[in-house]
Structure 1
């Protein structure tokens, strides 16, 4: 009998030890889901298609992240403003980019978002993402109205550039039915189609300048189609994340005059379920301390620093980012 009691007592102690070990190794969030602890071993980064600056920047960030998180692998995925937010909310992506006008839609659960997203936080606001309508220099297109009967690539279906384009057409009493055709394709492939004469215009919500259009401007010659004041005002009334923006003459070498359009800020976000405070603190620190590295990739990052990020913040700041910004005095 004593032997049975001894075995039983040993078993109970082992179970209790196991429970204690499990409690020490994990914690739960308010909704009962496990909270992140430490940097994930695999970080999937929601970026964008090849040819845009998001893809270039995420690649450079991935290399630096390997130094900050040596036990972690970083995988870049060709996502988009909407799909990245969905991936972050679902725990598919650990971090990702989105546009300033898309983040409020996700938070409020409107337009492309069937439900409110509340488990995604901001790390840094980086630079303005500018709406482009690009045509060949010898094109007869000079306004949005001139796109009637023309074949256009609005980028990838459901991406922020296409969604903005649909709104712009609506404000000009147009729809896709008024165009000569739609070609859903990424920035780099769209540039090839424009060069070869297979499409008449490319639409995108991307950095200004972006290398793909700079190369196209050098080899082919391009023009940017402006938005009129009524369209710009209408976009802002639809979504305050759309801000009036001027692409200064010389941004693309053959585009000498200023071009009026709209922009939304590019935002770096993380999944609250996958990225804890210390990990995001280190990520934010890396973003700010490597600002010169990012600026060498494109002049769009020349104004980025901690103060810029805080001033133009979109969405709720992650506690790890907030901790870093307060530590260096950028956030009171």
Structure 2
């Protein structure tokens, strides 16, 4: 009996296969399309993404996000934003690249990086082909103005340094050579009619390592251009005791006039627990930029939108982003917006001049 059943089953299978082979290609394609659509719907329902990019909002399979070295807030923030980019563009994978404001701008201009952070003064210099930019940068546009990085000149509490002029003959760490803090410090010195030749020595190193050098007495001052409060300065404030050196109003005004990317900034009492007086200094906005060669208008729209939709998560990383919103981004912009960003802001009722 089993043999008979097996025989009928075999005959039935042959007939089915024959019918499939003799069927028209159109019917077969329709079945394949239906299967593909079902598979896509299944994949879509299984996805953890809460948002989908608009049609045409595509990015390369590998997104290079130019940021900064591990330990700085740029690196922390870009890592979080990279996760969000992978959600918005599920066919892409975001890689965080360690860099600096100037190298980030150059890399975006030649299409090596899709996105990147920069400091506003460097962006202005890049557009004008000044400073470290031998030729004007033309392929990089603004997506968002995010938060201010503040210039800190830090000395030991028992130091005899009270003013910038007092740095003459002293050993200073201005940050990593060629990075924003180091360039800004040179501009500050120039405002006082000074240069590195007037100092007692230069130690090019990051803020964290510079903190160790200050504690050990190997240097007399640290210069950084980071969002306040700076963790290294906080630690030195509580364990060593430090002071912040203010800038003269005349120098602040001169720097802002020469480069509108700089703004007057006050480090308020309580920013650091043992520093009880206001400190007048300058700041430079961290801006999110995009390569025009890599990021389309549709993609730029989605990325700009993403940064505001995920603000609460970014604020949990640092309170420096508490003021970040669409109005803040546009009001404090010092460079030209990407067309996709313009589209997003105008949808929010904000006019771009």
TM-score by length of 1: 0.85
Residue of structure 1 equivalent to 2:265: 245
Shift of 1:331: 3.4
Q: Residues 58 and 89 of structure 2 are in contact (CA less than 8 Å); yes or no, is this contact kept in structure 1?
A: no
Q: Does 1:113 align with 2:133?
A: yes
Kindly name which structure, 1 or 2, has the bigger radius of gyration based on alpha carbons.
2
Q: Residues 57 and 302 of structure 2 are in contact (CA less than 8 Å); yes or no, is this contact kept in structure 1?
A: no
Q: Residues 52 and 211 of structure 1 are in contact (CA less than 8 Å); yes or no, is this contact kept in structure 2?
A: no
Shift of 1:61: 1.4
Runs (4 or more) in structure 1 with deviation over 3 Å come to: none
Q: Identify which range, 321-330 or 263-272, moves more after superposition.
A: 321-330
* Residue aligned with 2:121, SS: coil
* Residue aligned with 1:141, SS: coil
The match for 1:182 among 202, 212, 215 is 202
Shift of 1:191: 2.0
Shift of 1:237: 2.7
Q: Does 1:96 align with 2:116?
A: yes
Q: Does 1:160 align with 2:158?
A: no
Tell me how far apart the structure 2 counterparts of residues 52 and 133 of structure 1 sit (CA, whole Å): 17
Residue of structure 2 equivalent to 1:198: 218
Q: Does 1:150 align with 2:183?
A: no
Shift of 1:181: 0.9
The match for 1:42 among 49, 58, 62 is 62
Tell me how far apart the structure 1 counterparts of residues 303 and 57 of structure 2 sit (CA, whole Å): 15
The match for 2:147 among 102, 127, 133 is 127
Structure 2 residues without counterparts, runs of 5 or longer: 1-55
Tell me how far apart the structure 2 counterparts of residues 53 and 85 of structure 1 sit (CA, whole Å): 18
Shift of 1:137: 2.2
Q: Does 1:69 align with 2:84?
A: no
Shift of 1:37: 7.3
Shift of 1:133: 0.7
1:293-326 Cα shifts (integer Å, max 9, x gaps): 1112112111001111111122111111111112
Aligned-residue RMSD, C-alpha:
1.7
Tell me how far apart the structure 2 counterparts of residues 299 and 179 of structure 1 sit (CA, whole Å): 35
Q: Residues 154 and 162 of structure 1 are in contact (CA less than 8 Å); yes or no, is this contact kept in structure 2?
A: yes
The match for 2:296 among 271, 276, 283 is 276
More helix by share: 2
Aligned length: 297
